Every structure is written in structure tokens, then in C-alpha cells.
Amino acid sequence: MKRYLILMSFVLLVVLAACGGQTPATELQPTVETAGETTEAGVVEAVPTEALPAETSPIAHVADPALVNKEWLWESRDPNGGATAAITVPTPEEYNIIFNEDGTFFAQLDCNRGSGDYATPGDGSIAMTLGMTTKAFCPPDSLFNQMLETFASAGSYTIQEDGAVLAIAWANGGPIDTYRAADAMTTTTSTAVDAALVGKKWQWLGTTTPVEEVTVADASRYTIEFLEDGSAAITADCNTVLAQVTADGTNMTITPGPSTLVACPEDSQADLFTQQLSAAAIYFFQEGDLFIDLFASSGTMHFEEVPLVDLPAPDAGEPTGTVNAPAGIFLRSGPGVNFPAIGTAAQGDSGTLIGISQDRNWFVVEAPSMPDGRVWVAAAFVDAIGAENLPTVQAPVLPSTLVGPVWQWSGTAGTQATTVADPTRYTVTFMADGRASIKADCNMVTATYTLTGTGLSLVPGASTMAMCPPDSQGQQFVQQLALATVHTVQGSELMLNLTDGSTMRLVSGPVSSTPDSGGTTGGVTGGASGLAFRVVSFGPVGAEQPVIAGSQITATFDETALSVSGSGGCNSYSASITPQSGAFTVGPVATTLMACESPAGVMQQETAFLAALQGVNAYRWTQQVINQNNVITSGQLNYSLADGTAGVINLVTP
């Protein structure tokens, strides 16, 4: 905890320092700047941006040193003479709040995590407003809903027992919730973190989810460093987040804590990055890369280690530069944050200076281990000796602007002339590491590509095998991409010249978030009629819950009878299905009326499943070739509830 508070103090001091005038062209000291990019250890590279107006709390906020930067574990609720039930929290470590000095808070509510705003004007009152939370289905005995009540009801607070206890009293004489500081608990758990994670800087390459491939245009903007004491330093684009971590070799939890609140650029993925980290469940390594499986099988994050570049010691009398940033700095392939980061250097590392940029803001450093024998570093983070007469070095050509945007296929001219009715169904995203992610209508395709100047070659790889609607152009899209030979980027347009002289035209733009629907090939259910599906998980998108151990939910479609039937985990059910354009709907549902007591929570699970089933509005099947036949092996049913919640039901065949 001491380490945690020291790190937070460092962040806050730098925030204050960053408020002074700064030169947009140079890298800034850690950890915050107007908007831009934070390195793996908090060093920030500035990106000029227009300042945004700050949001204000409904009441004045004065940070209370006795309240902030502590992890408060919920212990109990006293009805205080009211009708509310008394609560003794059996697992306080699963229900906690961290108040940040800037008026934000983070909370763990059993299997969910949330954040929000609060204000303490200094008179003992407190106002709390909950913002985002995950929406996982917690166990039946969860106190998730009870803890939620605190945020809207909080009226005042007191700090007791020499700062060890926090009592939050509800407004108008309501109940009192008691929290205890984590470092004051009588029982403690080990904070040791798996040594395989520690001492390295991990940068986010992307996330694979059941419905999409999340790509990261610049991995250096999103990093995490695990520390031995159970904390972690997270770089979420232009902000730094401190977190608490448990990692035992298999299981992992990451609980975000204090964070800076800089307004990041419009293309920032910082919120998504932090949210996914907070859903960490299991981790593993493959070929040196780190993979983190998210809660309820909602996705897998992919990280690679940021290399630490070894700069050879300068010879006596040579111009020398020494890194002065306390947390180190990124080394880049050119003079600017728009050039890729190719490694890092720690504070105190020295190298031979061999040049300087035309604007005098970036040094060129000798690095024999790099492909071109040099790296670029921001002059603001280097103490230079003998650099008065360095030669000016021309900046290299910027990396291709092919990388980053989501390119939508708008059509093809020439021999393979094609008119595309809906470009959002056909997209390709090129990543900096030579991979590409292709959305070919209802299927996702992985690919690799190589660039040689304007030359481009793309090789499609693994693909899902869903049966898309009859009007699909997905196969044609992939086939044409594989014929690309030359690329030209002109603003928001990408032109691909093909081997037969045709030209594909793609434009950058947002991709529709509408879930892919299944095809109509094979009848109403796309060939699934008669298959006995087993449900493995269901719930809100990204927070699906596995089916309770010891229970089984099944579904079998019958296109002749236009029905679906099976077991909800306790009762048998049946329902009609109604064909829609490329999909079907379900309902009403009829069930038997048994009451099951075990396993625990099975009745609540059945109720939730049947509600989801009646909200089905799209489907998607995955096929494999078995004995030279396409066989459906798994699938998803997309649904929407009456309250607007969007979710998925994940199924497999025996």
C-alpha cells in the first residue's frame, strides 16, 4: 500500500507540473500532458490538442486526505433503526471502493467492476454518482445490488479508528455502511505477482472476442507493467492508471485504482483497454507473448513485451546523451510520436548522439542492434554533452498510413467490376506487426501482409465458416484482396491494384456495430434444424456467464414445426420460431412448472435464459469440415431485452 500511495503522489505531482506551458513538438515529462501518449513507465509524448472544458461535480469537491487513495473494503450495513435488512459481508475483499483525489472512484461489486464521480465539500457530506459498470451475472448470494444502493443514497461520512474505518451514512437518516481500510484488515493475503510478468513492459496488440477482432493501431499507447508488490502501472493512451493485481500462475485479477483524467484524442481506445483489463480472469504465455482471457469467455487480450534496447556505451569524447526521465522513454524510428516505438531505454542509459532533427527537438542515437543502426529520442528527455555541432538528419519517410484505419470496400473497377451495396459488411484493418483482420460479411478472416514501398501482398489465413445471406459478397471480397499488388493511400481512400488490372476502392470509416446475422441458406435456421445444441454461456455482450456447473441448458430447432425446444436447466420448454429476413424470432415460450433446488441458482438462471431466448433477433453458426462435409459445431444467438440490454447465447453441438 505504501508503494501504491507513493506512485499516486508521483502521478499527481506530474499532473500539476504539466499544467505549465509546454512545447507541443517535444515529449513531455511523465505522466500527463494536454493529450497524447504515455510510455510504458509514464513518460509522455505530446500530441497537440484543443483543451476540453472540465466537467464539474454537482457540489464543490475538496479532497479528504483521510479518504482518498485507500482501498476501502465493505464490512457491514447497519439498518440504523430503519426497515432495511442488516448485512454482514462474508467476503469484504470482493466489495471495495477506492476514492481518487480528482473526484472519481473505482469500485468492485462482487463479480462486477464500476466507476463514477463523487464530491466531498469538506463539511462531512458526500455525494456519489455511479457511472459505468460491467454487467456480469453474479452468484445468487451476491450483494451486488445491495452495494449499488450505497452510491445513490450516500449523504455523509466519517473516518473512525484513526483512519482505519469509513462509515457512509445514507441521506435522511438511512442505513450506515461500514468499510475498513485494506491495510487495516486483520487477515491479509499475499500480494506476490508471478515473476514471469514482472520486470517487463507489456504492450496491447489487440483482443479477440466471440464477435469481433479488436485491433490496436499503436500498441505503444497501451501498456501495463506488473510490479512485485502486487500493483501495476497502466498506460491507457494519454492517461496513467494505477492498479492492484493478483496473478498466481494461472488466475489473474486487475483492479484499477487512481487515474489521471486527461482528454485523449478522438481515436483513443483507453476506456476499452482499461475495461478489458478489469475483466481479467486467466493468463498464459505463448511464444513469449502474454495472453489474458477475460471473464465469462468474453475475449482474449494479446500483449507483447516491449524490448529494452541496449545502447552501447559512448567512446570518450563522443557526443553523449543520457536518459533523464525517471520512468524511461520510448525509442522511435523517426522524430515524432507518429513514428512507431521500436523499444525503450531506462533512466540513466547513455548512448552516442550522431545527429539531430531539423527542428532540434529529437536526437539520433547510435543503436547497432536496430535495422538501420539508429533510433530517435525526444531531446526533452536527454541530458546531452557535446551536442552543439551535431549534423542535421533528414527525417525518414513516415510509415504507411495504410495501418490504423478500418477500410470499407466501396467497389471495384475493371475486369472484376463490383458494386458493393453495404460497405460496412466488408472491411479490412492492417496492423503494424504485419497482420490484417478482415470482416467478410458474416465471417472474420485473419491474414498477413507485406509492404515493399507501394507494393502490397496479402495472404488470407484462418476463417470462420458461417453461412452468410444469399446476397453476400464476402468470398469475392477476400479473393480480390488476395490479388492486390500495389496500394495507394489518398486521404480517406485506399486504392488496391490487382493482378488482372482491376482496382479495388476502400474508404476509411466506422464499422457498423450491428451484430452479424446468420444466413438463410439451409432454411429458416441456416442448416441448424435437428441439431441438439448445448448452451455453454449467455449474458450481456462481453460479460456472458457460463452455465452453472451441474446444470444443462439445451436447444433443438425443428424447421418443419417451426419450433425450438429443450431444457432450461430445470424445466422443459418449447417455443415457436418466426422467420425474419436472414434470421428468426422466438416466442412465446411454454414450460413445465417444476421447482429445482439444486444446483444453487438454477431457477434464476433458467428465468434469465428463457427471457434471453424470447429476445433472439439474429444468429451466427461456425462450421468445420469433417469427413469432407461442412458441419455446424458452434454458434451464437443474438438477443435484445425489453430494457435495451444486448446479449448473446453461446451454443455448441455434441
| Amino acid letter, residue 466 | A
Flag whether pLDDT at 21 surpasses 60.
no
Of 130, 313, 164, 292, nearest to 224 by C-alpha is 292
| 233-246 per-position pLDDT tens digit | 898 887 878 888 98
Quick one: cell of 333? 524510428
Best CA proximity match to 434, nearest among 446, 452, 450, 456:
450
DSSP 53: P
Show the CA angle centred on residue 268, arms to residues 262 and 274, nearest 5°.
75
- Within its chain, how far is the Cα of 8 from the centroid? 23
Q: Which residue type, as a one-letter code, is found at position 230? A: G
Q: What is the mean pLDDT of residues 359-383?
A: 89
pLDDT at 180 over 60: yes
Model confidence over 273-306: pLDDT tens digits? 988 998 898 999 988 899 999 887 788 999 998 8
> Is the confidence at residue 91, as pLDDT, over 80?
yes
User: 3-class DSSP state for residue 424?
Assistant: helix
Cβ–Cβ < 8 Å for 284, 291: yes
Q: Are 639 and 613 in contact (CB under 8 A)?
A: yes
**CA–CA separation, 279 vs 302, rounded Å?**
14
Give the chain's end-to-end CA distance (angstroms, integer): 49
What span, in angstroms and rounded, lies between the C-alpha atoms of 342 and 340? Answer: 6
Residue of 360, 395, 39 lying closest to 28 (CA atoms)? 39
Check if the beta carbon of residue 442 is closer than 8 Å to that of residue 519: yes
pLDDT tens for residues 482-522? Answer: 999 888 776 677 889 898 888 898 987 543 333 333 333 45
Q: What is the pLDDT of residue 376?
A: 92
In this structure, are residues 556 and 534 in contact, taking their beta carbons and an 8 Å threshold? no
| CB burial of residue 345 (10 Å; 0-12, 13-18, 19+) | buried
User: Grid coordinates 425446444 are at which residue?
Assistant: 565
Amino acid found at 192: A
Q: Which class for 339: exposed (0-12), middle (13-18), buried (19 or more C-beta within 10 A)?
A: middle
Instruction: Please tell me the number of Cα atoms within 13 Å of 127 on its side-chain side.
Output: 11
SS3 87: strand
Under the banding of pLDDT at 50, 70 and 90, the label for residue 312 is confident
Residue 309 is predicted with a pLDDT of 74
Start-end of H helices in 195-241: none
C-alpha distances (whole Å) from 288 to each of 118, 285, 306, 367, 457 are: 42, 6, 11, 24, 27
Could you read off the pLDDT of 204-215 as tens digits, one per residue? Answer: 998 988 777 788
pLDDT given for residue 414 in this prediction: 82
Q: What would the mean pLDDT of 217-241 be, rounded to a whole number?
A: 85
Q: What is the pLDDT of residues 584-623, one digit of tens each?
A: 888 888 888 888 888 989 999 999 999 999 988 878 777 7
* Residue 51 DSSP one-character state: P
Please tell me the distance from the alpha carbon of residue 439 to that of residue 357, in angstroms, as a whole number: 40
pTM as predicted: 0.40
Place of cell 505522466: 31
| Cβ-contact 14, 30 below 8 angstroms | yes
In this structure, what are the phi and psi dihedrals at residue 43, rounded to the nearest 5 degrees?
-75, 135
pLDDT at 228: 84
For the chain, domains (ranges, CATH) are 2-54+191-305 (2.40.128.270), 71-184 (2.40.128.270), 320-385 (2.30.30.40), 406-508 (2.40.128.270), 532-652 (2.40.128.270)
> Residue 105: what pLDDT?
85
Instruction: Supply 219's cell numbers.
Output: 500498441
Distance of CA 254 to the CA centre of its chain: 12
Task: Show Cβ contacts of residue 302 under 8 Å, excluding neighbours closer than 6 positions.
Answer: 204, 205, 206, 207, 208, 289, 290, 291
| Per-residue burial over 596-633, b = 16 or more CB atoms within 10 Å of its CB, e = otherwise | eeeeebbbebbebbbebbbbbbbbbbbbeeeeeeeebb
Among candidate residues 652, 653, 474, 641, the one with its CA nearest the CA of residue 137: 641
Instruction: Note the pLDDT of residue 469.
Output: 87
Query: Phi/psi of residue 202, each to 5°?
Result: -105, 130
Among residues 18, 19, 25, 36, the alpha carbon closest in space to that of 263 is found at 36
Query: Are residues 392 and 400 in contact, defined by beta-carbon separation less than 8 angstroms?
Result: no
| Model confidence band, residue 45 (pLDDT cutoffs 50, 70, 90) | very low
Residues 6+ apart with CB under 8 A from 9: none
Planar angle of CA 109, 124, 257, nearest 5 degrees: 35
User: 158: part of which helix (H) or strand (E)?
Assistant: strand 154-160
Cell of 498: 490487382
How many residues belong to the chain? Answer: 654
The mean predicted confidence, pLDDT, of the chain is 79
SS3 651: strand
Considering Cα of 143, then 148, then 150, then 153, what sign does the dihedral take? Answer: negative
Quick one: CA torsion of 23, 26, 30, 34, rounded to 10 degrees? 50
| DSSP letters spanning 554-603 | EEEEETTTTEEEEE-SSSEEEEEEEEETTEEEEEEEEE-------STTHH
How do residues 426-483 score in pLDDT, each as one tens digit? 988 887 667 888 888 887 787 888 877 677 899 988 776 677 888 999 999 999 999 9
Sign (positive or negative) of CA dihedral 61, 63, 69, 71:
negative
